[in-house]
Each structure stands twice: as structure tokens, then as C-alpha cells.
């Protein structure tokens, strides 16, 4: 996800911090759920912050202060979770999260179903947005009609 920002990733604003402070608000189990969503999305080729925020909201997973996810907040959450393993002070929390995640197979199944559903929605949206020959070029549509009229 950092590809979109190249060498200039956004800086977290003070207004964003409470949304991501699950430890302070006693909602550490939410991190497990968010991590499961991010992993499932990644396995299925979904990696944009917009899509991840959409999935989190569809699963009714809230930010630490109970708000809906925005792409910006999702970007910060993904970045924090990805760098989480590199922070030695947080290894114990990471181990606890890992233990919870392994025991929550039902939630991961739900996440996988929602991700697959979203992939189907994206495919349908893409198919619906494809222009037909006549919409793309009326001249070609007319030529096609004339050629089909001559061959039949």
C-alpha cells in the first residue's frame, strides 16, 4: 500500500491517533480482527486502503473510538500492523494477538466470505462499466451493423 505514496507517506494527525489507539481504549481484540481482514484481503489481491476500509466497515469493525473506517485510517492501521512485528516492545502484545487469531477460525471464515463477496462485487462493477462497441464508437457500431447485415 505504500506504493501509492512512494517516498512521501502521509503523516498521522493528532485527530487520527485516537481511532487507532486500541490499547488505550481496551479494545485489543479489534486488532486481531483487523489483522485477519488485512491478511485475507492481501491473499485475495485486495490492497488499497479504500477497499480495506470498505471491508472493515462491511464487517462492522469500528475504529478504537467506535467510528467507521476511512481509507486514510485504514492506511495507517495497515502500516502499523505490518511494522508491528519489527517493534520489540510490542512482541508480547503480538503473541497475544496471534494466540487469539488462531482460536478465532469462525471469524476468519466470515472474513474470507466477505472478501470473496467484495471481489465478486468489484468484478460485477467492472463488467457493468465496460462500454459496448456502440457506446465506445458509434461509427464502429454502424459499421458492425452493416457488415452483419451483409453476411446474414
Tell me 58's DSSP state.
H
User: What predicted TM-score, i.e. pTM, was given to this entire model?
Assistant: 0.66
Distances (CA, A) of 72 to 47, 89, 108, 114: 13, 25, 24, 21
Mean pLDDT within 126-136 = 73
Portion of the chain with pLDDT greater than 70, in percent: 76
Lookup: cell for 127: 463488467
147 pLDDT tier (thresholds 50, 70, 90): confident
Cell representation of residue 125:
462493477
Question: According to the model, what pLDDT value does residue 55 have?
Answer: 93
> pLDDT tens digits, residue range 61-82?
999 899 999 999 999 998 888 7
Compute the average pLDDT of residues 118-139: 79
The secondary structure of residue 131, as a DSSP letter, is P
- DSSP class of 60: T
Across the chain, mean pLDDT equals 79
Residue 90, pLDDT > 60, answer: no
pLDDT band at 88 (very low <50, low <70, confident <90, very high): very low
Amino acid at each position: 500500500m505504500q506504493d501509492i505514496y512512494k517516498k512521501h507517506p502521509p503523516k498521522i494527525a493528532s485527530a487520527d491517533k485516537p481511532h487507532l489507539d486500541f490499547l488505550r481504549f481496551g479494545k485489543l481484540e479489534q486488532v486481531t480482527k483487523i489483522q485477519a481482514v488485512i491478511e485475507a484481503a492481501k491473499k485475495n489481491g485486495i490492497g488499497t486502503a479504500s477497499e480495506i476500509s470498505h471491508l472493515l466497515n462491511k464487517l462492522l469493525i469500528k475504529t478504537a473510538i467506535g467510528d467507521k473506517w476511512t481509507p486514510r485510517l485504514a492506511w495507517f492501521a495497515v502500516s502499523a500492523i505490518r511494522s508491528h512485528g519489527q517493534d520489540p516492545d510490542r512482541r508480547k502484545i503480538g503473541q497475544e494477538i496471534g494466540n487469539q487469531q488462531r482460536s478465532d477460525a469462525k471469524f476468519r471464515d466470515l472474513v474470507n466470505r466477505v472478501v470473496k463477496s467484495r471481489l465478486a462485487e468489484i468484478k460485477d462493477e467492472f463488467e457493468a462499466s465496460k462500454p459496448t462497441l456502440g457506446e465506445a464508437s458509434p461509427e464502429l457500431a454502424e459499421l458492425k451493423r452493416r457488415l452483419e447485415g451483409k453476411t446474414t
